[in-house]
Structure 1
Amino acid sequence: MSRIIVKNIPKYVTEDRLKQHFAKKGDVTDVKLRTNNKGESRRFAFIGYRRDEDAEAAVKFFDQSFMDTSKLDVQLAKSFADPTVPKSFKQKKREAFQRVKEREEKERAREEQERERKRQKRENKLNHKSRIDEEIEQNPALKEFIEATKPSTQTKSWSNDIVVNEGGAPSNSLLDQALALKTGSGENVEDKFHNSLADEIFKIQENESDDEYADFGKKDQNDGEEEEPMLTLGEIEKAVEEPKSDDGQENSSNINDEGISDLEWLKKRRIRIKDNEDPGATTEATATTTTSSSDQAPEEATKTTSTKPSSPPPQPDAEEVAIDKIRTTGRLFLRNILYTATEDDFRALFAKFGQLEEVHVAVDTRTGASKGFCYIKFANPDEAVDAYIELDKQIFQGRLLHILPAEAKKDHKLDEFDLKNLPLKKQRELKKKYDASKQQFSWNSLYLSTDAVMDTIAADLGVSKSQLIDPENSSSAVKQALAEAHVIGDVRKFFESKGIDLTKFKEKERDDSVILVKNIPYGTTETELLELFTPFGELKRFIMPASGTIAIVQFRDIPTGRSAFTKLAYKRFKKSILYLEKGPKDLFTRDPTADETTATDAKSTEAAQANIVEIADNEKDVVMEDAEVFEGATVSIFVKNLNFSTTAKSLTEVFNKSDGFVVATIKTKVDPRDSTKKQSMGYGFAEFRTKDHATTAIKVLDGTVLDGHKLSLKLSHRQNTVGPTSSAKSKKAVSAKIIVKNLPFEATRKDVFELFNSFGQLKSVRVPKKFDKSARGFAFVEFMLPKEAESAMDQLQGVHLLGRRLVMQYAEQASGDVEEEIEKMTKKVKKQVATQQLDAVRLAGQGKRKLQELNDDAGDEK
């Protein structure tokens, strides 16, 4: 835990004073003095340190100490995710609301189940009744019996009297009988009735409009009243003779009026509908006459039941929404990070959860400073969810991390359909450009264009390129390889003089802010290359040798370097294509000088040539100084009272400004709590070239405060252990015999001899061949002296022969002891025999038991 809580601080203390007070035990990254609503101090604060060790040391040092007259209580702070932290009022209120919400959801689900059960029960009851009604309808005798046995209160005297005549108009059998019995002169009463009834029905159909359906939703006031009595014969005659009413709407007060006609009564019954009934079904509803709720069909009763509106679905929790979004994008957004935090810090923090595709710290392009937030993208979204759950609201570098789901990154790559429409050559170029930023391995960091190399050598010799390489000469390939070796040697010396550690090219870790520019055409100037890279951001360093065959560009910040690499990789430049490679980490051993920065205009050609001449004149001095550092005995300074958290890098920064400084080391031991880590012993050594340099450094730096500790310096009689040890190892590994791999199959023994003969006297050259006399792709070269072999390997590193890069290693020397050689040959033969037996068993299909026996026998022989 890298964050501490300080209680009982004086009320008048400010954050600046707290930072100054607690900075004695380490780098303070955050200070939060808690205040109330009035801005008054609550007398406690949070202090953040960059490292956990610094926070623990601060607790031990400041706890129960005094600040002015107040006794401080210092403890390690706890994150919000710690279960021992008491919950705040807002959190308790939120949890109570969540419990109420869950209880309401359970109650709502129970009510829904009860409602569904009742509905199912009602449907079963209606279905049962409908089945009984169907059975009654299918049995006429049973139906007649049931109708006859019904009480008078449940039957209608005119229920069977309403029929439909041939013309489609309703008719009453009792009315027809009464009219048939009545005698009268003139016009037939029955015909008169039927004609008037038909006319009335026609008018009803003709005059149907929206006005007649305006009151469909109103409930009839006479639904609960008693049934109307049967009309007498006189009333029927009166209804026929009286003219019909022009008013098409029903008046509830006229229903029981004795003067109302049967036609109007039929009309009113025809248009009445029930409440909550679908208006689209009015046509079917008006076709039948319903006078009582007991006559409704079960299906109609089901339709008329009111339905309760369903409750809205429960809203998902904010935490669930965030996790779903992270599972979709696999990208995290980090806030409240340290402004000096690097991408490596977050890569180390999140790498334990899974493979990372991208770590991006947002940087202000104007100042180069961090904006205080970062993006993390995982290859597997589930791993991003695990990181979110584990690290959200946790303490990192003294600050509380706030992790949120990030939006998906905009990808501008072409889809498969667009790629298929492009030529195959263009598809390959786009694929190379897209994969360039993800590539971590480079087979040759100091790759030089062969054409540019030959142009450079021809210009130095003052001849044409055709004169330099004779196509009819068989040794042209060897000349080209030697020319490349010469140019590479010059480039290596130039880079070393600029503070570049060439051994870092072998390491895998890369720095996105450093770019190696390769395959540069001959004649390219610094100004032309700067025009390519400066639009992407400010450059911190630009290094290009006089030959112009390779360059190193360092940007001020990582995002601009990453953007430049993505845009310029495999870009066509003049008559060539630029090959870009990300530079290794810690490539530079010192800060850039004034001539290496791009703050001013690019240097002229004359200034560059003068600089190269000066470097060439000083090469011998540099070599002699290096020899003095690594081969001679150095003078050491014993440094004690070191902080246990101090690293060798910070100690080196203290002595780096002193003249004659070589290296600084800190004595360490295995940590008893964790055997995989090392623990500082509190002292170290600083080596200088001469005693005068060491004495001057002691006078200047004795008593310097480093990480809160005052350093104590004195001379030590310890000899240099770095130089002799490494030199002894190299001499032990150096051999006069070299094995050359990746040799072209077209190369002959003569080519190999001419290539290595220029670096020393050769003892033997052997190129193994196959049974068909073709080369096997490697060769053995033995020099008279190991020093000559070492020089050849150093100068031919990265050289190409017939288009293939030569890979050289020291060959294993034959032992002078005959018995040792016989033992080696015996082991080799036994291994070959065991391999043949295993292959025979596999081909024969024998079981694992036989294989295990052979493996045991082979192990015993070893």
Structure 2
Amino acid sequence: MFCREGRSRRFAFIGFRTEQEAQEAIKYFNKSFLDTSRISVEIAHEVGDENAPRPKSRHSLKNVGKVNQNSEKSYNRSLRKIDKKIKKKPEDDDPLFSEFLEVMQRGTSRFWSNDMSIAPTAQATPKEKVLAKNDDADLAGNDDVEADADSHDADIDDVLQTGRLFVRNLPYTATEEELMEHFSKFGEISEAHLVLDKETKRSKGFAYILFLIPESAARAMEDLDKSTFQGRLLHVMPAKHREKQVNEACNLPKTLKQKREEEKKASEAGGNTKAWNSLFMCSNTIVEHTARVYGVRKSDLLDRETEDPAVLVALAETKVIAETKEALAKAGVNVTCLEEIATGKGDKKKRSKHILLVKNLPFGSTEKELAQVFGRFGSLDKIIFPPPKTLALVVFLEPAEAKAAMAGMAYKRYKDSPLFLEWAPADILEPKTLAPVYNELNSDVRETDTNVVYVTNLSFKTSDESLKKHLTQVVKQGNIQSVKIIKHVKDGKKVSKGYGFVEFDSIETATSAFRDVQGTVLDGHALTLRFSEDEPVVKGSDKDKKTCTKLVVRNLPFNGVDKKQLRKLFSPFGQIKGVRLPTRDSTGRFAGFGFVEFMTKQEASNAKKALSSTHLYGRRLGIEYSNDDTSLEALRDRSAAKYYKDQEKANPKRRRIAY
């Protein structure tokens, strides 16, 4: 610190990020020597702290609003000394001499009052003058205090209107997450914007904080202004509200629809994203990709003579989603968190500030084009673009640039489709949560004492010889002892039941075959393997309660869906025992949900996992395990209650009147 003359005042303030670092500095430097001076290091007091020591210099005393006790004592001591000296003078006994001194002293101030003599008083006049000066100073200080109070009240009013704060003198290493953590104790924060330099990508030392509730912003300004944050004194003041844009085309205020769209974009840019399906894909891109893979034209897949094209597109979407998950997992992406968000279980997950999930990409999109589109908003770390090219992850280096890309590209047309942007989960690239895709299929791998494997989801056309040939090609070690497909008599012929047993020469060979053969395709069916158990699973056990063979399929379209289509949609994942589509009692119309029952629990589990993000006629299927104890009437009531609840959310002003 320096005085006005430029001389050092021989003290300084040093700020540290944490209190622990400051204590270590005190422990190391206190009472040490800097050149030839022994320095004293201690914790600085907060601004306005009552326990802070009073300054000793005369320059500092001018800035203090009142005289301290030490100065008052010294002043009283000097007055007593002056009184003693006056009493010792011999001239005090001469009244004429005293009158002469009094007249001559007053002649220096007012010449018209020289002829007026005033009897001496017992009080000392210097003290009265000092007190009068102090009173005038107090009055002047009161004027300043009143002006400051008026300014402070105006700041509070501004904050209560906008809920937005301007914070400066920030450390250049501070991040938006640290700011949100520091200010969030006063209320929920809608947005925190740390201003960066465009060239260096470093913080400029100031930021904007937007609170959800303006009263929270007012409390934060009251408590955090002139407080310490990472070794710096914060200066918190109200920020100006963003100017409302006016429609440039007609110079008129924007319509209600335009205002709602802007509010939606602003909320999504701030991180308030309600993901209805993180694995959403453009149907046209799915069909184009499927046609390219199988070497056919798109018109051949969607031909009028094609049976159930909607089911065909749904199965193609399921396959593309599986390929996308596998490619994302190989690229180091945590696919599990995407699945949780897609099913609605991870809506409360913390979102990343610099990773965007780009959905609804048109067919033919390339990584180079995406880099050009999003690169104009800032520096990109990388782009993860799975081979199906239906969605992508765009990783920015700076959160502010990612926020600008979200605001600039959300719902903007790219080629022939609007882009759907969403903040990716915060832990989407964490290595500790990553796992290979085949772990889901191999979750049953465990220590076993059997060399017999139970194979399900076999095609009815598959024979013992074709299954053995397929296993011989896939299994790299060991030998196959026997293969037997279970059959039953139908119309006088032995027909496959869709499952069988395979015996290997050792337990090691059976375990290896379980990993290698799991999920491979034979005659158009993906094989599902389980270790054979001599003792069946007892009903009512804990494992039996978690999963079952019956699935509830919700959110089915009310028109155009029949049992045949539902059976065709679920049949690739196992042998179906039955399909049921309930109707309403009063009207007989379709209730909007159905039941699909498989032969085994593993088949039901595979279907649930594979079809959890699939769309049928544009509606995402909601698949759950069915509780056998739940009656059909209870399911109807639950579906009806959910329907009316959704209607009330869509039309909050509309009320139902009971007659």
TM range (shorter): 0.5 to 0.7
1:49 is paired with a residue of what secondary structure? coil
Partner of residue 449, structure 1: 282
The question of 1:774 aligning with 2:589 is answered yes
Alpha-carbon distance in structure 1 between the residues aligned to 2:260 and 2:14: 56
Find 1:95's aligned residue among 65, 70, 75: 65
Structure 1 residues 94 and 629: CA distance shift in structure 2, 3 A: farther
Does residue 762 of the first structure (1) align with residue 576 of the second (2)? yes
Find the counterpart in structure 2 of residue 641 from structure 1.
none
Closer/same/farther in 2, CA of residues 342 and 624 from structure 1, 3 Å limit: same
1:749 pairs with 563, 566, 570, which one? 563
Alpha-carbon distance in structure 2 between the residues aligned to 1:452 and 1:484: 10
Please, which of 549, 560, 573 is the counterpart of residue 414 of structure 2?
Answer: 573
Higher mean Cα deviation, 345-354 or 476-485? Answer: 345-354
For 2:49, the aligned partner's letter is: D
> Which residue does 1:376 correspond to in 2?
209
1:333: how far off?
A: 1.8
Assess, with a 3 A threshold, how the Cα gap between structure 1 residues 763 and 531 changes in structure 2: closer, same or farther.
Answer: same
Give the match's secondary structure for 1:388.
Answer: helix
Within 1, Cα distance between the matches of 2:367 and 2:334? Answer: 22
Equivalent of residue 62 in structure 1, options 27, 30, 45: 27
Aligned residues of 1:419 and 1:427 also touching (Cα < 8 A) = no
The superposition leaves residues 769-811 of structure 1 with CA deviations (integer Å, 9 ceiling, x where unpaired) of: 2123322122222322222222222221211011100112223
SS of the counterpart of 1:545?
coil
Q: Deviations along 1:145-165, whole A, 9 cap, x unmatched?
A: xxxxxxxxxxxxxxxxxxxxx
CA apart distance, 1:81: 4.4
CA distance in 1, matches of 2:31, 2:142: 56
> Is 1:437 equivalent to 2:437 in the alignment?
no
- Report the secondary structure of 2:16's partner residue: strand
* Alpha-carbon shift at residue 533 of structure 1 (Å): 1.0
Match of 1:793 in 2: 608
Unaligned runs of 5+ in 1: 1-31, 108-312, 592-618, 634-727, 815-823, 833-862
Tell me, yes or no, if structure 1 residue 485 matches structure 2 residue 450: no
Equivalent residues in 2 for 1:845-856 (5 A)?
none
* Residues 1:360 and 1:90: Cα distance change in structure 2 (over 3 Å): farther
The match for 1:528 is 369
- Cα shift readout 1:304-356 (whole Å, capped 9, x = no counterpart): xxxxxxxxx96865544543443454322222323332222222222232343
Which shifted more, 94-103 or 431-440?
94-103
3-state SS of the aligned residue for 1:95?
Answer: coil
Partners of 1:428 and 1:320 in 2: CA distance: 33
Find the partner of 1:49 among 17, 22, 27.
17
Deviates more, 1:457-466 or 1:329-338: 329-338
Aligned equivalents of 1:550, 1:440: Cα separation in 2: 17
How far apart in 2 are the matches of 1:742 and 1:363? 46
Which amino acid is the alignment partner of residue 357 of structure 1? Answer: S
Q: Which has the larger radius of gyration?
A: 1
1:384-414 Cα offsets, whole Å, 9 max, x none, are 2211111112222343322233333344364
Structure 1 Cα separation of the partners of residues 240 and 592 of structure 2:
52
Alignment of 1:695-844 (within 5 A): 733-746=546-559, 747-771=561-585, 772-812=587-627
Taking the aligned partners of 1:64 and 1:433, their CA distance within structure 2 comes to 53
Please say if residues 329 and 437 of structure 2, whose CA atoms lie closer than 8 Å, have aligned partners that are also in contact.
Answer: no
Measure how far apart 1:45 and its partner are.
5.8
Cα deviation for residue 627 of structure 1 reads: 8.8
| Distance change (3 Å), C-alpha of 1:630 and 1:478 | closer
CA distance in 2, matches of 1:426, 1:106: 51
Q: Secondary structure at the match of 2:612?
A: coil
The 5 Å alignment of 1:269-284 reads none
The code of the aligned residue for 1:95 comes to: G
C-alpha distance in 1 between matches for 2:372 and 2:220: 42
1:458 Cα deviation from its structure 2 partner: 0.6
Checking the alignment, whether the CA contact within 8 Å between 1:81 and 1:394 is kept in structure 2 is: no
Q: Alignment partner of 1:492: what SS?
A: helix
Describe the SS at the equivalent of 1:323.
Answer: helix
Change over 3 Å in CA distance of 1:71–1:626 after alignment to 2: farther
CA 1:622–1:805 in structure 2 vs 1: closer, same or farther (change >3 Å)? closer
Cα–Cα, structure 1 residues 68 and 519, in superposed 2: closer, same or farther, change >3 Å? Answer: same
Contact 2:2-2:8 at 8 Å conserved across structures = no
Match of 1:352, SS? Answer: helix
Q: Is the 8 A contact 2:46 2:227 kept in 1?
A: yes
CA pair 354-782 structure 1, distance change in 2 beyond 3 A: same
Pair 1:419–1:773, CA change in 2 (3 A):
farther
Structure 1, residues 17-61: CA drift from partner, whole Å, max 9, x if none?
xxxxxxxxxxxxxxx999x9655864x7645233x5x369749x9
Q: Give 3-state SS (helix, strand or coil) of 2:372's partner.
A: helix
Instruction: Supply the AA of the counterpart residue of 2:551.
Output: I
Tell me the amino acid that sits aligned with residue 548 of structure 2. S
Distance 1:329 1:415, change over 3 A: farther
Query: Relative to structure 1, is the Cα distance of residues 472 and 433 closer, same or farther in structure 2, using a 3 angstrom cutoff?
Result: farther
Task: Give matches, 1:533-548, under 5 Å.
Answer: 533-548=374-389
Kept in 2: contact 1:539–1:553 (CA 8 A): yes
| SS of structure 1 residue aligned to 2:314 | helix
Alpha-carbon offset, residue 487 of structure 1: 0.6
* Equivalence map 1:74-223=2 (5 Å): 77-86=44-53, 90=60, 93=63, 95-96=65-66, 100=136, 103=139
Report the equivalent of 1:465: 298
Q: Aligned partners of 1:630 and 1:87: how far apart in 2?
A: 74
Alignment counterpart, residue 239 of structure 2, candidates 386, 393, 406: 406
Does 2:180 align with 1:366?
no
Q: Return the letter of the residue paired with 2:63.
A: K
2:171 & 2:547 partners in 1: Cα distance? 48
Partners of 1:46 and 1:789 in 2: how far apart? 65
Cα distance in structure 1, aligned partners of 2:565 and 2:134 = 83
* Preserved contact between residue 246 and residue 252 of structure 2 (Cα < 8 Å): no
Residue 69 of structure 2 is matched in structure 1 by none
Secondary structure of 1:349's counterpart equals helix
Deviations 1:646-691 (A, max 9, x none): xxxxxxxxxxxxxxxxxxxxxxxxxxxxxxxxxxxxxxxxxxxxxx
Contact 1:335 1:374 in 2 (8 A): yes
Deviations 1:87-115 (A, max 9, x none): 557587353599856635999xxxxxxxx
8 A Cα contact 1:81 1:393, kept in partner: no
Q: After TM superposition, give the deviation of residue 759 of structure 1 in Å.
A: 0.7
The equivalent of 1:226 in structure 2 is none
Distance 1:732 1:356, change over 3 A: same
**Counterparts of 2:9 and 2:366, CA distance in 1:** 63
Structure 2 distance, partners of 1:377, 1:427, is 19
Q: Would the alpha carbon gap of residues 101 and 554 (structure 1) be closer, same or farther in structure 2, given more than 3 Å must change?
A: farther
Which ranges in structure 2 are unaligned for 5 or more consecutive residues?
67-132, 448-540, 639-659
Structure with the higher helix share, 1 or 2: 1
Percent identical: 33
TM-score, normalization: structure 2? 0.59
Contact kept? 1:326, 1:405, Cα under 8 Å: yes
CA contact (8 A) 1:33 1:46 kept: no
d(CA) in 1 for partners of 2:402, 2:237: 27
